Amino acid sequence: MIAERILTAPERLQMDRDAAIRELAMTTAGLHGLSPRTERDIRSLLGARLLPILDAADALVEAGQELEAIDRRLENHLQMHVNCIHPRPCWAYRALQIRRRRCQRTWDRAWRRLAGGNG
């Protein structure tokens, strides 16, 4: 019996992407009666065009999740330290604000990259 190696999340994601691109190429080639060689060419072209878009979408999702987590931490911090921001915010609150601004910039860059900008 051969033991199967457990795939990591990035490996599973890459396998899913490869399978989706392969399926799209097979469907396109099958609908138009194209040769297997043409199907391979379509698959490589689709991979070259779609993978950067998928990578940008992944970066956007990751940045969005981190942004939401930081927002929750800021909210929890303010609930615990009601008087934290008066007259001056504490160091932890300021650190979270700085981290949120950085994360917001990362999210903005990922969004511009996905939308076709330079990022």
Which tens digit of pLDDT belongs to each residue from 44-98? 888 888 888 888 888 899 999 999 999 999 888 888 887 777 777 888 888 999 9
Q: Which band of pLDDT confidence, cut at 50, 70 and 90, is reported for residue 3?
A: low
In a domain, 29, yes or no: yes
List the domain range (segments joined by +) for residue 76. Answer: 9-114
Q: What is the pLDDT of residues 102-116, one digit of tens each?
A: 999 999 999 998 887
In a domain, 20, yes or no: yes
In a domain, 3, yes or no: no
- Rounded to 5, what percent of the chain is helix, strand, coil? 80, 0, 20
Count how many domains the chain has. Answer: 1
Backbone angles phi, psi at 2, to 5 degrees: -90, 125
| Residue 83 per-residue DSSP state | T
The whole-angstrom separation of Cα 59 and Cα 113 is 9
